[in-house]
Structure 1
Amino acid sequence: MDALHTSGIHFAEALQSGPPWLEKFWISVTSLADPKCVFTICFPIAYFLDRKVGVSVLWIGLVSEWLNVVLKWFLFGERPFWWVHESGLTSKQLVTLHQFPVSCETGPGSPSGHCMITGAALWPLVTALTELASRQSRSLVVKLAPFGAYTLLLLAVGLSRVFILAHFPHQVVCGTLAGAALGWGLQARTPATRTPGFFVAAALALLLSSLALSAPQPLSPCHRSIHLATKWCSNPTWLRLDTRPFASICRDTGSALGLGLAAGFPLQQGEQLDPWQRVASAMLALVAMQGLHQLLQPTDVTLWYSTSFLKYATGPWLVASLLPRLVLSLSRPQGSPHTD
Structure 2
Amino acid sequence: MDALHAAGIHFAEVLQSGPRWMEDVWLTVTSSADPKCIFTICFPLAYFLDRKVGVAVLWVGLLAEWLNVVCKWFLFGERPFWWIHESGFGSGQQLTVRQFPVSCETGPGSPSGHCMITGAALWPLVSALTALASRHSKSLLLKLIPFTAYMLLLVAVGLSRVYVLAHFPHQVLSGIVAGAVLGWGLQARTPITRSMGFFAVTSLGLLLGSIALHGLMIAAGVDIDWSIRLATTWCKDPSWLRLDTRPFASICRVAGSALGLGLAAGDPKHWDKPLPPRQRAACAVLALAAVRGLQHIPQPQQVTLWYTSSFIKYAAGPGLVAVLLPRIARAITRPQSRPHAQ
TM-score, scaled relative to structure 1 = 0.97
Q: CA-to-partner distance for each residue in 1:124-160, whole Å, 9 max, x for gaps? A: 0000000001111111111100000000000000000
- One of 318, 321, 325 as aligned partner of 2:320: 318
**Counterpart in the other structure of 1:229:** 231
Maintained 8 Å contact 2:63/2:254: yes
**Counterpart in the other structure of 1:335:** 337
- Per the TM alignment, residue 267 of structure 1 is displaced from its structure 2 partner at its CA by 4.2
1:1-340 equivalences in 2 (<5 Å): 1-218=1-218, 220-268=222-270, 271-340=273-342
Maintained 8 Å contact 2:192/2:265: no
- Per the TM alignment, residue 263 of structure 1 is displaced from its structure 2 partner at its CA by 4.0
Maintained 8 Å contact 1:196/1:262: no
State how many pairs are aligned.
340
In structure 2, the CA distance between the partners of 1:90 and 1:270, relative to structure 1 (3 Å rule), is closer
Instruction: Name the CA distance, whole Å, in 2 between partners of 1:132 and 1:265.
Output: 25
Q: In structure 2, give the amino acid aligned to 1:258.
A: G
The CA RMSD over aligned residues, in Å, is: 1.4
Instruction: Name the CA distance, whole Å, in 2 between partners of 1:266 and 1:10.
Output: 54
- Per the TM alignment, residue 339 of structure 1 is displaced from its structure 2 partner at its CA by 3.7
Instruction: Name the CA distance, whole Å, in 2 between partners of 1:194 and 1:209.
Output: 21
User: Percentage identity across aligned positions?
Assistant: 69
SS of the residue corresponding to residue 314 of structure 2 reads helix
Maintained 8 Å contact 2:263/2:322: no
- Per the TM alignment, residue 275 of structure 1 is displaced from its structure 2 partner at its CA by 1.1
Maintained 8 Å contact 1:158/1:169: yes
Moved more, 202-211 or 230-239: 202-211
Instruction: Name the CA distance, whole Å, in 2 between partners of 1:339 and 1:180.
Output: 63
Q: CA-to-partner distance for each residue in 1:60-89, whole Å, 9 max, x for gaps? A: 000000000000000010000000000001
Q: CA-to-partner distance for each residue in 1:260-309, whole Å, 9 max, x for gaps? A: 23444444367531111111111111110000001111111111000000
SS of the residue corresponding to residue 333 of structure 1 reads coil
Maintained 8 Å contact 2:77/2:110: yes
In structure 2, the CA distance between the partners of 1:270 and 1:4, relative to structure 1 (3 Å rule), is closer
Instruction: Name the CA distance, whole Å, in 2 between partners of 1:121 and 1:269.
Output: 22
Q: CA-to-partner distance for each residue in 1:141-189, whole Å, 9 max, x for gaps? A: 1110000000000000000000000000000000000000000001111
Maintained 8 Å contact 2:115/2:154: yes
Maintained 8 Å contact 1:72/1:111: yes
Instruction: Name the CA distance, whole Å, in 2 between partners of 1:226 and 1:146.
Output: 38
In structure 2, the CA distance between the partners of 1:192 and 1:19, relative to structure 1 (3 Å rule), is same
Q: CA-to-partner distance for each residue in 1:101-143, whole Å, 9 max, x for gaps? A: 1000000000000000000000000000000011111111111
Q: CA-to-partner distance for each residue in 1:183-225, whole Å, 9 max, x for gaps? A: 0001111112442121111111111211122222229554210
Instruction: Name the CA distance, whole Å, in 2 between partners of 1:334 and 1:145.
Output: 45
SS of the residue corresponding to residue 217 of structure 2 reads coil
Instruction: Name the CA distance, whole Å, in 2 between partners of 1:178 and 1:270.
Output: 35
Maintained 8 Å contact 2:193/2:266: no
In structure 2, the CA distance between the partners of 1:185 and 1:264, relative to structure 1 (3 Å rule), is closer
Listed as ranges, the gaps of 5+ residues in structure 2 are none
TM-score, scaled relative to structure 2 = 0.96
